[in-house]
Amino acid sequence: MYLCAVITLVGNDLLKVLNFLRAGELVAIPTETVYGLAADCMNDRAVQKIFEVKQRPTTNPLILHVESIERIYPLVNEFPDTFKQLAKVFCPGPLTFLIKKSSLVSEYITAGNERVAIRIPKHPLTLKLIAALDAPIAAPSANLYGKLSPTEAKHVKNQLDGKIPYILDGGECQRGIESTIIGLEKNEVVIYRLGSITPEDLAQQLGYMPGLKVHSNDIPVASGMVKYHYAPITTCSFFDPMKPCDESAGYIFLSKNLLSSSSINIRILSPTENLDEAAKNLYSTLHDVDNGGFSHIYIEKVPDVGIGMAINDRIGRAVAKFHF
């Protein structure tokens, strides 16, 4: 087991991070979506540590992060043309491809699945790091299993302090919601996890609306599909305008206070009702409110369009932990 306490440093010393990775240690890295908990994917022991530190079931596979499209080829049997086209448009960026793996990818990464998940993150520090390591980085989100994903270095520190030696601080994540995960079924693109690249974004390139397979609770293709996930510790419900306001609760609204009282603790995701801004602020607001000592969190659903679908998906999974 990997449970010895270590001192967790926070900084932007790329050389230090590189040396930790080369020595088989884990580090937290920034991406445009959320912070990742990174290991050298060629080091099986380091990959196993990810599951131990996150307390994540080993049946739940990991995403590989590479720095260029060319680096995808050795990891897969065949890179489908449809994905090549999408990669040209969206990579680096928040799009993860599920592709039949090559023998280079260990079973620990894919948890025995035929397909491996690969993406090119859009963060200059992390791209530099992967290039310097000269190997793909395996990284799930840098939170404990089932807890809120981190979008700032301090969120990682709160959950993983003493468990990893270094958090590479790359500032606030610009997108704030995990990548969109896609695969191919009968030659058509299917979305397994809603994320920062919207179904509409993909449809524009594909000429058809990709299928959505994100709501099944049986045998999820991606763990983000399990019903509850990404949850705060404080009990969380959808905001209901018919309910009397609760002085001891924290409220999260999209753009304006929907309560009659202004003295209540309220957080706004985007004053201009910009859904990209709301996505960027979602987890950090949930982290803040979760640490605010409230008896309950009430959160408003946002319009179910574009990235709003991914926001509602995450809110729904947080709420589902407390209402099933």
Residue ranges that bind Mg ion, judged by CB under 5 A? 141
Any idea which residue has 């979760």 for tokens? Answer: 290
Are 266 and 239 in contact by the 8 Å Cβ rule? The answer is no
Instruction: Sort strands 180-185 and 188-193 into parallel, antiparallel or unpaired.
Output: antiparallel
Lookup: tokens for 32 = 């445009």
- Residue 179 near which of ligand TXA, Mg ion, none (CB within 5-8 Å, type-dependent): ligand TXA
**Which lies closer to ligand TXA via its Cβ, residue 125 or residue 266?**
125
Binding-site partner at residue 25 among Mg ion, ligand TXA, none, CB < 5 to 8 Å by type:
none
- In the complex with ligand TXA, the residue whose CB is nearer, 156 or 259, is 156
Q: How far is the CB of 291 from ligand TXA (least distance, A)?
A: 21
Residue facing ligand TXA at closest CB distance: 140
CB of 149 to Mg ion, least distance (A): 6
Residue 224 beta carbon to ligand TXA: minimum distance, rounded to whole angstroms: 4
Min CB(308)–ligand TXA separation in Å: 18
The distance of closest approach from Cβ of residue 128 to ligand TXA in the complex, given in angstroms and rounded to an integer, is: 16
Residues in a beta bridge with 119: 65
Q: Of ligand TXA, Mg ion, none, which one does residue 279 interact with (CB within 5 to 8 Å by kind)?
A: none
Strand intervals (E) in the chain = 9-11, 27-29, 36-40, 63-65, 95-100, 115-119, 137-138, 166-168, 180-185, 188-193, 211-212, 236-238, 250-253, 265-268, 297-299
Q: In angstroms, give the least distance from the CB of 319 to ligand TXA.
A: 19
Three-state secondary structure call for residue 28: strand
What does DSSP say about strands 137-138 and 188-193: parallel, antiparallel, or unpaired?
A: unpaired
Q: Taking CB within 5 to 8 Å according to partner kind, which of Mg ion, ligand TXA, none is near residue 312?
A: none
30 CA to centre of own chain? 11
Rounded to whole angstroms, the Cα distance separating 159 from 181 reads: 25
Spatial distance between the Cα atoms of 184 and 186, rounded to a whole number of angstroms = 7
- Contact (CB, 8 A) for 281 and 270: yes
| Six token digits for residue 36 | 């990742």
Closest to ligand TXA by CB, 113 or 274:
113
Q: Give bridge partners of residue 182 from the DSSP assignment.
A: 97, 191
223 binds, among ligand TXA, Mg ion, none (CB under 5 to 8 A by kind): ligand TXA
Between 159 and 270, name the residue whose CB sits nearer to Mg ion. 159
Residue 115 contact, options Mg ion, ligand TXA, none, Cβ 5-8 Å cut-off depending on partner type: ligand TXA
Q: Which residue ranges make up the site for ligand TXA (CB under 6 A)?
A: 31, 33-34, 36, 60-63, 94, 96, 98, 110, 113, 115-117, 121, 139-141, 178-179, 181, 221-224
Q: Which of 244, 231, 241, 255 is nearest to 316 (CA)?
A: 231
31 contact, one of Mg ion, ligand TXA, none, CB 5-8 Å limit per kind: ligand TXA
CB of 29 to ligand TXA, least distance (A): 8
Give residue number: closest CB to Mg ion.
141
